[in-house]
Amino acid sequence: MSYAGPEFDPPQPRRPRRGPLTLAVAALVPAALVGWLVYEAVADSGHGPAGTASAKSSAPSAAASPPDDGKRPAASPAATPGAAARPGSGPLSGKVVVIDPGHNPGNFQHASEIARKVNIGTNSKECDTTGTATNSGYTEARFTLDVARRLRTLLEAQGATVKFTQDGDRAWGPCVDERARIGNQAHADAAISIHADGAAAGDRGFHVILPATVHSGAADTRPIVASSRDLGEHVAGSFVRVTGSAPSNYVGHGTGLVVRSDLGGLNLSTVPKVFIECGNMRDSKDAAQFTNGAWRQKAAQGISEGIVGFLRG
Ligand code: ZN
């Protein structure tokens, strides 16, 4: 079920000022705030000054039509507001976010490699899976990579350092244990794994998966259970608000939150981490959203705002 309507235009976080005047104000404030304010002005006004005008095309709104191919932002002139912020400036300066696009489009061609068992602490489990797909063949792996790239653009615009576990730049994988390790080794302030579910038709809506308390073998989630829940609650709340999507009607009892102990990517994490299942690819209504670039932009915006809220406390 979708609650999308005019009142659900993606809200912009913390607007100290609106409109073109913000640019004039920006000239008077400390340099660290400039990137943020420029982003705000562009996103709000829809008619930024010369030099940033192209940024408005990626401002999140129902009318936006971001590129559907999820190209690396740096290669796309429309993929600002990232261009408005310099690395290391902005409210998330100094924060590291690891984004884990679930699966890999190449996994389908590497069945034996991804079937290899890896140790997830509690037991061993397949390295990875192919992921699911819509009935028309739009794969989860393509979807997750696209949303992840949009999310990266949004977070980098606010000064965060963003690292991917894979960016369509390897033949398959990585395995779930490596996905966790990448976040750990980056000392991520937040890590998120992006997925879409493959449940029965009629099962709809998103859910965020939180790590259970697991202390077994190489897994010890005790230090991250509370912070991960905080992260997950922020993400779930923002996702509802920005996308208008309802929490899952088939797991989580309407909360949009599910705790699991069987996911290596969570069990092995030493940094705050959650998964988000953005909806159900096997449901035609959810699938119609997934195949819509404007909706994927909203999904990325919802996730971004949740991460920002978590990181800014
Ligand atoms: Zn998945």
Domain count, the chain: 1
Instruction: Indicate whether 296 pLDDT > 60.
Output: yes
> Per-residue pLDDT averaged across 169-180, rounded?
97
Query: Would you say residue 161 lies in a domain?
Result: yes
Instruction: Indicate whether 40 pLDDT > 80.
Output: no
Higher pLDDT, 313 or 113: 113
Model pLDDT for residues 204-250, shown as the tens digit of each residue: 999 999 999 999 999 999 999 999 999 999 999 999 999 999 999 99
Q: pLDDT at position 313, please?
A: 87
- Cα distances from 212 to residues 178, 179, 236, 266, in angstroms, run 19, 18, 17, 8
**pLDDT-wise least confident of 65-74, 160-169, 181-190, 259-268:** 65-74
Q: pLDDT at position 53, please?
A: 34
Query: Would you say residue 37 lies in a domain?
Result: no
CA distance 10 to 243: 7
Query: Would you say residue 28 lies in a domain?
Result: no
Q: Which letter does DSSP use for residue 12 in this model?
A: P
Please give the distance, rounded to the nearest whole angstrom, from the Cα atom of residue 39 to the centre of ligand 1: 32
Quote the Cα angle for 240-188-170, to 5°: 90
Instruction: Indicate whether 124 pLDDT > 70.
Output: yes
- Cα distances from 23 to residues 15, 34, 39, 58, in angstroms, run 13, 9, 10, 18
**Confidence band, pLDDT 50/70/90 cuts, at residue 86:** low
- φ and ψ at 297, to 5 degrees? -65, -40
Please give the distance, rounded to the nearest whole angstrom, from the Cα atom of residue 280 to the centre of ligand 1: 10
Q: pLDDT at position 6, please?
A: 35
Can you give the CATH number for the domain in which 226 is found?
3.40.630.40
Residue where the block lists tokens 């088939």: 250
Instruction: Indicate whether 312 pLDDT > 70.
Output: yes
Query: Would you say residue 192 lies in a domain?
Result: yes
Instruction: Indicate whether 71 pLDDT > 80.
Output: no
Query: Would you say residue 20 lies in a domain?
Result: no
Please give the distance, rounded to the nearest whole angstrom, from the Cα atom of residue 179 to the centre of ligand 1: 13
Q: pLDDT at position 152, please?
A: 98
Distance of CA 81 to the CA centre of its chain: 16
Active-site annotation holder among 40, 156, 178, 277: 277
CA distance 173 to 131: 11
> Per-residue pLDDT averaged across 22-27, rounded?
36
Q: pLDDT at position 89, please?
A: 82
- Cα distances from 109 to residues 15, 112, 115, 130, 187, in angstroms, run 47, 9, 12, 9, 32
CA distance 60 to 79: 11
Query: Would you say residue 163 lies in a domain?
Result: yes
In three-state form (DSSP H/G/I as H, E/B as E, the rest C), the secondary structure along 207-239 is EEEEECCCEECCEECCCCHHHHHHHHHHHHHHH
Q: Is 277 tagged catalytic?
A: yes
Query: Would you say residue 306 lies in a domain?
Result: yes
CA distance 82 to 89: 11
Task: Supply the range of the domain harboring residue 163.
Answer: 92-312
Query: Would you say residue 217 lies in a domain?
Result: yes
Please give the distance, rounded to the nearest whole angstrom, from the Cα atom of residue 161 to the centre of ligand 1: 24
Higher pLDDT, 18 or 198: 198
Higher pLDDT, 165 or 58: 165
Please give the distance, rounded to the nearest whole angstrom, from the Cα atom of residue 102 to the centre of ligand 1: 5
Please give the distance, rounded to the nearest whole angstrom, from the Cα atom of residue 12 to the centre of ligand 1: 29
- For 255, other C-beta atoms within 10 Å of its C-beta total 13
Mean pLDDT of the chain: 81
